[in-house]
Structure 1
């Protein structure tokens, strides 16, 4: 039978990560097959020895498991025909629903989701089984997306024709001469879709086509049609979704309608089009609607995309695009777990840019280099002599390997993610789905691929000519400016060349400690041209170089730094990035040059700053260097040194794209948690020397606010509450200087606050805010657990319970911490009066809006539809029991993602969680780079580029448009969920 052959033929090397789980999953599938009368499948599943492949699939992919349990008939179909025939049958069904005269929008949505789900399972099984290669899989996914899109377009066109809005020439072929051009972009256009891809579309209008009865109304008509198309394909219903749709690649999306006339589009591209849009158009392809008009439009656009002459200037521009949307290439080893196979170093995007850059340069003269598919164009580049045979073969193999990894990451839960899991269970799943017997062999292969890709990509840009190279004079001797040097500096892009000359003469004259030795000055002289070129590449070169000068003044020595910068361009670029984009970080380097030492360790970009990572390094740091003096003061100083360096290094990882904003929030929080824990230990030890201990005394620190939710930013204060307990009959401590129990813990807390926030030789560790304790500033700084519990249960205001939703213990006695966390869980589990809680929270939000209005549209905390609204929604959901998790989470994003379906639809919950993730990435970059009171008008160009990268959008206009759309979505949800 076909099915037996399918399940028995291949990849018996697919390992089952959790055999016991797999056994249970197979039993569930047996029961589902019997219930749905899938006889062939039922018979097959009776023989457990023959189901190893299927067991592995069920164990590795919760998505495939859930779909096949609910729809075992999909697997049953494999006993009737091979996958290729089954997919053709599904394609016929898709075409039929698009032109069915009885079709309704809701039924169309249901049918497309049902068919797509079946197709996804079949495509995944054939892929995992090894019957098809990765590019056949991407072609099948593309064909599926195109079929669903065209069915939707046909349905909408026929409906408009029926209503008299269009006059279709041929209702049996509604797309023909309709004037609606739907271009597929990116991987959709190239026929290279991922397993869980968005489909990128641009919609244009050929208003000369006969179907358009009123050309003046066509923009509004087709824009409304575009909105409905997105709804039909993208909205999550009980049946799931078809494909997520992204229309943001159209010209100037913040100011243009969803459908744009061809004449306006051509005018835009020819007059204002940018190189990133040229690169995007390489993969453009008409995928639905009026295909003939679409092909004609691309033909007219060809001279803009494919320039006749070699365009080496485009290399620099395309490289800058990469910096905007791709993790900055650091140095040293590459991490495997947590690595982004698409955007990370050595990933898919680097291979695509390797190919596209050369296509842009040479495609104007060689039409055969104008194709959209990565592997095909690699072969053409080889045939034309642009790349060697070895490069072609290695990148082709690596591309297919990485796309396979990407597909398996997405098959797990049908999520649009490109990041390898960090945990053992998740990582083992991917290794198993890739056919590797263990994690180590997969890790070794993955690392080898990344390094090979990075090597080829780096070589491409090393061979590019140095644009803006300092070929003119660079003379900084004497007391007067050299005229040719001034001209060279001006040509490089410096606006105040005379000031730059004066600064560099100061370096070369040895007026700073870092340049006092002859050897240091020689190194700096050799480095100066590279420095000037690097700073000239920033948009405010003068300001960036001035910050570097401030940094240089504080250095105790310069020989090592200058040598490193000269031999390590990546480090130089990183330093320039800090100086040009992040004034706040630059100020930290200037005040504490020692933090820069951490950047010299090449491993910082390959090791994630987890709690364990930080704790290991702190233990090593504290165990060395303490002398026989005041151990307590030395410990606090060393905590400050360590925290300053690690905060800086977390910031550098964020700045370079090695981690995103959400992970940076966790890292800043883990660091603070560790510092509080060690400071508390030091204070307890020091305090007990004089005052002794309280019988049965226990103490714990309860984290609140962003520390509690693990969302700290680079400059956050820490919100904490100190709780204690002791034996009922313990009145005084037993030390040399006895204290009453309450006084003991108050004094102890004051010592802890001082240990954290008092200015010392190495500065302040953290600013501490304890206003969230019972009774706020009026109450004692330390609170007995019984008083805390009584207050929270009987007297606390709604806003205090809101704050409690983010509470978690982070330091102190372990058993006491467990009791406190359990008590907080119990308090939050007490049913709230829904209407009363909602009313108070809405009034509270209105009060904040009136008393603390947002500074500008980039004030994402206070802006309507911003972070506060999301936090209020999550906190309201926790207080009213609307979060569907077994254990309480303090994370705003997790609580939003798990909103109960009766409170918020799954689609809305996902959108709100996505909005919080988006805000977090943006906010972390802003807080890292500039002070809290810095407005949008003062953002440096380098910072704007970082924000584009964090948002994965090509320019700041797109980012601001996305912010506007997201805040509108959140504000609407706030009104619906709370005011409703």
Structure 2
């Protein structure tokens, strides 16, 4: 509303403004007189002292207004005899008609809109600074100006699309009516509260049912192109400036949706995936251009989504994230006035708006009168309903007006979309003078008082609100723009790329993953986010860990259970963070097979050791009554995945050590092999029958045989069989010769264990340690096995046999195989020749497979192979003092004969093997590739230090070098000693 409505601008004495530099102001007034040579009315008006004083101060205080008026003094000429409201109405009419006429092109329209908008913009600023406009009048005219410009551009584009045959308008003289193109004004534009240099927030929908739209399938592309052109017409900077900057990021899921969204798709989004901050944004939505009637219908359909029937206290926890930085910062120090963000800062404009909107969301469903978009009007309605006190209403309304005036003057300086008070003396004084203050101190005092008043009312309103951020700081992930305070908080928490982290978390909130599609899941995740970010931030590479968690979320079929569990169980949250930060391999497993995480729901998981009996009991329960072959194998794969993971988790957390993990992984493999073998034999016999007297036994070799499997180990197997001497073929529907029967059955077993399926792979299988290696049959008769081992096997094959262990099959055959192996290993051997073979084999391995680096614990000189070869040599040459043969390297090294190795040497070798085992188990659990010591996940570095019982990685590496040198020294000494003995 203009004061002195109907009177020429200069008819009423303008409010007094004081320039910063009076001499410069006088010079600028002289420049205006010079440029106004063709404006006689203005020149006459400049002889009036009050008019001259006002204009000279404006020219000095506002570089933007100065630049326009010195170029276009005719703007002031028009005001000498015309009322500002009359001139503004004329300008708006000219803008509204700017699209009319067949000669109008996009280029000429852009030029017209820019010139007309610039004049209106300057006129509104002058009326505001002269005291002719109250705050609501300023924002009202700015809003009308924006609407007129948008509508002119929309009319032009619709007519253009109609002429091109893209759409068929029902009335070309009124292009917007019935066009199906819905332009919603959001934020301050929607609320008639636009600020001086504001962006305009728009959401664009398409009513596909509208007759103007031809092919609905093409409408998204057609109207998205039109929307892109609309943005260009309004926003592109030309020689004439720009009209309004346009922001389309408030639309549903802006990262993955077109610029123009079909109404049906939008409604589906809001009803299924809409977030509470989007509900709050919709409070201010209204159709500002295009098909106004269709826009009203859309908003009517969205009303139940925005305005819920019941008091929505449950959603307030999530609504809080809309403006976390407006949190009541009690006891966090003084507000710095200079550099303060009038809009977003403590006690600022957004705090008042949020004060109003939150209560509207709570109560607007029951009280329609609380559904308005105007901030001050809604303060009044909230007071009428008793939601706030009259004192709060009056105080907040007054401070809202004051702060909006400050915001306008900040923006009038250079026509920039900024809300930050200048920090320098001159800039700060400039704003104070434009506000009518003589000195900066008085302005600062009143400004600080306004912020304090707003902050006090806000804090009182939300004293009982859920404390989600705790002491974390700002955490705002709404909309599509990074909140500066949130970026600062994330940096302080330990994230190196806070903007990327914001983008990831916004993806969660947009419900793009199955796990975050439900509103409840998103609210749970919102509540969990501060704790989650704090926990990830405490790792040394927080960004990397959180991105792994993001990959986990992508794969989850649902999220509510996990989010609730993590929220109520801080240790579990800590464990998940440990996995993501220290164990990429485990993180990848969870991401691909999130069901493995279910095992952690068992509260006794860390209290019970994964013994064979423990695993067997759970396996029987898990298999249940499953009888179908494929069903059994799938259940075995699921069980193995889950329990490999759980054994790994116990190792990761220190509940078990490396050697214990090796035994558990091996026990699990034994059970899987045994169950898979039983299933294969039964299935195979359905078609091919059985061989008379047939028996099968499986030998575990390598690390399976020595019960030292790691999380990622292959399994080395030898399959042995026996049958009646006169059994020539099986007795089934499709009989097979006996040898062929067991070869085919073994191939089926290999497939059952290692073929990839929807449930993954049980184990990769290696059969190269069978007699004759890859040249021999995959299944070996027990007699052939014994004959080969006695007469043809190489020394290295007997060395491998020292770790052979029967793991599955017919118990009688397994007992026979065990006694046969004992007999073969007990055969007399020449220690010197055996030692020579061992040394040559070790040298060949070192030549053909040199170690990658210090962390290649297996192949490095003095590494695991050296220790295994010492144990195997001792086992073959009778240098182990044990009642019963053991396949475990650790056991053998602990019982070396004193005549072969002194007890101190034996202890040294055992300590080295245990160190290597602890480290290699941890490495294989956490990594799929080699160790890059310069680029280790920091959590893994900590785990390796724990495994080595040393304080830092450098000391671990130094210790490893010393241990390896010691092992190699003992290996050389023991082999040399054996070769010297006769």
TM-score for both structures, normalised by structure 1: 0.52
SS of the residue aligned with 1:942? helix
3-state DSSP of counterpart to 2:798? helix
Structure 2, gaps ≥5 residues long? 1-466, 978-982
2:929 is aligned to: 932
Question: 1:907 matched to which residue of 2?
Answer: 904
Q: Does 1:528 align with 2:537?
A: no
- Could you give the per-residue CA deviations for residues 722-772 of structure 1, whole angstroms, max 9, x where no partner exists? 000111111111111111110011011001000100111101110000000
- Distance in 1 (CA, whole Å) between partners of 2:661 and 2:772 is 33
Identify the residue that residue 472 of structure 1 maps to in structure 2: 473
Please tell me whether the aligned partners of residues 855 and 935 of structure 1 are also in contact (alpha carbons under 8 angstroms).
no
Partners in 2 of 1:921 and 1:712 — Cα distance? 12
Give the drift of 1:968.
Answer: 1.2
Name the residue aligned to 2:114.
Answer: none
Answer yes or no: is 1:773 the counterpart of 2:774.
no
8 Å CA contact retained: 2:472, 2:534: no
Matched, 1:976 2:973: yes
Q: Any conservation in 1 of the 2:516–2:522 contact (CA below 8 Å)?
A: yes
Aligned to 1:947: 944
Cα shift readout 1:138-179 (whole Å, capped 9, x = no counterpart): xxxxxxxxxxxxxxxxxxxxxxxxxxxxxxxxxxxxxxxxxx
Q: Which aligned pairs between 1:324-403 and structure 2 lie closer than 5 A?
A: none
CA contact (8 A) 1:806 1:890 kept: yes
SS of equivalent residue, structure 2 residue 718: strand
**1:811 alignment counterpart:** 808
CA–CA distance in structure 2, aligned partners of residues 961 and 937 of structure 1: 15
Alignment pair present for 1:710 and 2:720? no
- Deviations 1:534-576 (CA, angstroms, capped at 9, x unpaired): 0000000000000000001111111111111111110000000
Within 5 Å, give how 1:852-867 maps onto structure 2.
852-867=849-864
Contact persistence 2:680–2:749 (CA under 8 A): yes
CA distance in 2 between counterparts of 1:708 and 1:829 reads 18
Matched residues in 1 for 2:656 and 2:929: separation?
Answer: 22
Match of 2:835 in 1: 838
Distance 1:574 1:600 in 2: 12
The aligned residue for residue 665 of structure 1 is 662
| Corresponding residue number in structure 2 for 1:389 | none
| Other-structure match for 2:919 | 922
Question: After the TM superposition, which residues 515-554 of structure 1 pair with which residues of structure 2 at under 5 Å, given as runs?
Answer: 515-554=516-555
3-state SS of paired residue (1:887): coil
Deviation at 1:932, TM superposition (A): 3.3
Instruction: State the SS of the aligned residue for 1:602.
Output: coil
Partner of 2:672: 675
Mark the runs of 5 or more structure 1 residues left unpaired by the alignment: 1-465
Distance in 1, matches of 2:934 and 2:849, equals 20
Correspondence list, 1:16-35, <5 A? none
Shift of 1:470: 4.8
Name the structure 2 match of 1:617: 618
Per the TM alignment, residue 961 of structure 1 is displaced from its structure 2 partner at its CA by 2.1
What is the Cα-based RMSD across aligned positions, in Å? 1.3
Q: Counterparts of 1:594 and 1:890 in 2: how far apart (Å)?
A: 35
Q: Where does residue 84 of structure 2 map in the other structure? A: none
Alignment of 1:431-830 (within 5 A): 470-623=471-624, 626=626, 631-830=628-827
Deviation string for 1:578-622 (max 9, x for gaps)? 000000000000000000001111111011001111110010000
Q: 1:173 is matched with which residue?
A: none
Q: Looking at both structures, which has the greater relative contact order when contacts are Cα pairs under 8 Å and sequence separation is at least 6?
A: 1
- Partner Cα separation in structure 2 for residue 469 and residue 895 of structure 1: 56
The answer on whether the counterparts of 1:856 and 1:935 sit within 8 Å (CA) in structure 2 is: no
Q: Distance in 2 between matches of 1:831 and 1:477?
A: 78
Provide the C-alpha distance between the structure 2 equivalents of 1:471 and 1:516, rounded to a whole number of angstroms.
26
When normalised by structure 2's length, the TM-score is: 0.51
Matches for 1:13-412 after TM superposition, within 5 Å: none
Q: Please give the alpha-carbon distance, in whole angstroms, between the structure 2 residues aligned to 1:935 and 1:732.
A: 55
CA deviation digits over 1:768-825, x for unaligned, max 9? 0000000000000000001000000010000000000000111000011000000000
**Contact persistence 2:472–2:530 (CA under 8 A):** no
CA distance in 2, matches of 1:475, 1:718: 50
- Tell me what 2:102 maps to: none
| CA distance in 2: counterparts of 1:844 and 1:763, whole angstroms | 36
- CA–CA distance in structure 1, aligned partners of residues 472 and 790 of structure 2: 74
Deviations 1:608-666 (A, max 9, x none): 00111111001000005x4xxx8001111110000000000000000000000100000
**Alignment CA distance shift 1:729-1:910 (3 Å):** same
Kindly state the Cα deviation for residue 957 of structure 1 after the two structures are TM-superposed.
Answer: 2.0
Counterpart secondary structure, 1:604: coil
CA distance in 2, matches of 1:811, 1:489: 54
Q: Is the 8 A contact 1:469 1:533 kept in 2?
A: no
Secondary structure of 1:766's counterpart equals coil
Q: Aligned pair count? A: 510
Report the Cα distance in structure 1 between the residues aligned to 2:644 and 2:567, rounded to whole angstroms. Answer: 26
Between the aligned partners of 1:527 and 1:664, the Cα distance in structure 2 is 33
1:693 and 1:492, CA in 2 relative to 1: closer, same or farther beyond 3 A?
same
Q: Partner of 2:770: helix, strand, or coil?
A: coil
What is the Cα deviation at residue 969 of structure 1?
Answer: 1.1
Please state whether the residue corresponding to 2:962 is helix, strand or coil. helix
* Whole-angstrom CA distance in 2 between matches of 1:917 and 1:514: 42
Question: Which residue of structure 2 aligns with residue 331 of structure 1?
Answer: none
Task: Give, in angstroms, the shift of residue 934 of structure 1.
Answer: 4.1
- Indicate if the aligned counterparts of 2:582 and 2:939 stay in contact, CA closer than 8 A: yes
Q: SS of 1:687's equivalent?
A: helix
Contact 1:668 1:714 in 2 (8 A): yes
| Cα displacement (A) at 1:937 | 2.9
Q: Is the 8 A contact 1:723 1:785 kept in 2?
A: yes
For 2:636 and 2:919, how far apart are their aligned partners in 1? 29
Counterpart of 2:957 (choices 960, 975, 978) is 960
**In the alignment, is the contact (CA less than 8 A) between 1:853 and 1:863 conserved in 2?**
yes
Q: Secondary structure at the match of 2:589?
A: helix
Matched residue SS, 1:809:
strand
Query: Are the counterparts in 2 of residues 579 and 586 from structure 1 also a CA contact under 8 Å?
Result: yes
Task: Tell me if structure 2 keeps the 8 A contact 1:856–1:936.
Answer: no
Q: CA shift at 1:959, angstroms?
A: 1.4
Q: Partners of 1:576 and 1:702 in 2: how far apart?
A: 39
Residues 770 and 779 of structure 1, relative CA distance in 2, 3 Å threshold: same
In the TM superposition, residue 505 of structure 1 has moved relative to its aligned partner by 0.7
In structure 1, distance between residues paired with 2:607 and 2:796:
41
